[in-house]
Amino acid sequence: MLSFYEIARFLGLENEAKKFSNQEISSVEFDSRKVQDKSLFVPIDGATKGTSYLNKAIENGATGTLWPKGETLPENISYLVVENPLEAMQKIAQGYLAKIAPKVVGITGSNGKTTTKDMTENVLKQKFQTYKTQGNFNNNIGLPYTILKMPEKTDVLVLEMGMDHQGEIDFLSRLASPDACAITLIGESHLEYFKDRSGIAEAKMEIVNGLKEDGFLIVPGDEPLLTPLIKKVSQDVVTFSLNEGKSDIWADIINESQHEISFTLNFFPDETFTIPVSGKFNVKNALVAAYFGKRFGLTKEEVKTGLKTVSLTKNRSEWLNHKNMDILADVYNANPTAMSLVLESFSQFKAQGKKVIVLGDMLELGNSSREFHENLSELILPENIQEVFLYGEEMGYLAEKLKAKYQKNNLHYYHKTEKESLENQVLQTIASGDLILLKASNGMHLNDLVEKIMSL
Q: In whole angstroms, give the CA distance from residue 161 to residue 167.
A: 12
Q: In whole angstroms, give the CA distance from residue 283 to residue 278.
A: 8
User: Parallel, antiparallel, or unpaired: how do β-strands 2-3 and 387-391 relate?
Assistant: unpaired
Scanning 250-394, the segments in alpha helix (DSSP H) are 280-295, 300-308, 336-348, 369-375
Provide the 10 A C-beta neighbour count for residue 237.
18
Q: What does the pLDDT read at residue 315?
A: 64
- Which residues touch 281 (CB under 8 Å, ≥6 apart)? 111, 112, 338, 341, 342, 345
| Local mean pLDDT, 10-residue blocks, the chain (456 residues) | 89 76 88 96 94 96 94 90 97 97 96 93 98 93 97 98 91 98 84 75 96 98 93 96 88 90 95 92 95 98 98 79 93 86 91 97 90 96 97 97 96 97 97 96 94 94
Phi, psi of 264 (to 5 degrees): -115, 160
Q: In whole angstroms, give the CA distance from residue 111 to residue 332.
A: 10
List the one residue out of 405, 415, 408, 414 whose CA is nearest residue 385: 405
* DSSP for residue 363: P
* DSSP for residue 424: H
Q: What is the DSSP string of 70-125?
A: TSPPPSSSEEEEES-HHHHHHHHHHHHHHHH--EEEEEE-SSSHHHHHHHHHHHHT
* DSSP for residue 312: P
List the one residue out of 370, 394, 368 whose CA is nearest residue 194: 368
Contact (Cβ atoms closer than 8 angstroms) between residue 151 and residue 130: no
Give Rg (Cα) of the chain.
Answer: 24
List the one residue out of 73, 130, 288 whose CA is nearest residue 65: 73
What pTM was computed for the model?
A: 0.87
Total number of residues shown for the chain: 456
Q: What does the pLDDT read at residue 92?
A: 97
Scanning 153-230, the segments in alpha helix (DSSP H) are 168-176, 197-204, 227-230
Q: What does the pLDDT read at residue 108?
A: 96
50 CB-contact burial (10 Å; exposed 0-12 / middle 13-18 / buried 19+): buried
106 CB-contact burial (10 Å; exposed 0-12 / middle 13-18 / buried 19+): buried
Contact (Cβ atoms closer than 8 angstroms) between residue 187 and residue 336: yes
Q: In whole angstroms, give the CA distance from residue 57 to residue 37.
A: 10
